[in-house]
Amino acid sequence: MELLIASAIGIMTAAGIYLVLRLRTFPVILGISLLTYAVNVFLFTSGRVAVGAPPVLRDGVTTYTDPLPQALVLTAIVISFGMTAVVVMIGLGAFLGSDDDHVDDRPDPSDDTSEGTS
């Protein structure tokens, strides 16, 4: 079970980094979302992977799960949802303002006015 979860975290992290390094706005937003999902799964599994185990420690219970990472993941989900909404609105505003969704600010080759036209 741990190998499956570790593989899923690694695949989500690799895909997220690949998408963040793209030059378009939408893949960068998806990459950031994938990275937050990978961190959330990592935090969730840090509370111990145990199926059907209670989240509190009682007498006679040898296997339990830690409830603190679950609370941290719930908080992280809310924060990442709000930040994703903000980044989508910034990206949409940049796209509507320039009719281009490149994340680098490269000059348009058809708009070359800097070449000695005085």
- Helices (DSSP H) in the chain: which residue ranges? 2-20, 25-45, 67-98
Residues linked to residue 24 through DSSP beta bridges, in sequence order: 102
Residue 12 has pLDDT above 70, yes or no: yes
Tokens 């893949």, residue located: 27
Please answer whether residues 1 and 49 qualify as being in contact, where contact means their C-beta atoms are separated by less than 8 angstroms.
Answer: yes
Q: What is the predicted pLDDT for the residue at 47?
A: 75
Residue 18 has pLDDT above 70, yes or no: yes
* 3-class DSSP assignment, residue 102: strand
Distance separating alpha carbons of residues 90 and 96, to the nearest angstrom: 10
Residues linked to residue 102 through DSSP beta bridges, in sequence order: 24
pLDDT digits (tens, 9 = 90+) for 81-91: 999 999 999 88
For the domain made up of 2-53+62-105, the CATH class stated in words is: mainly alpha
The residue with greater pLDDT, 112 or 65, is 65
DSSP state of 24: B
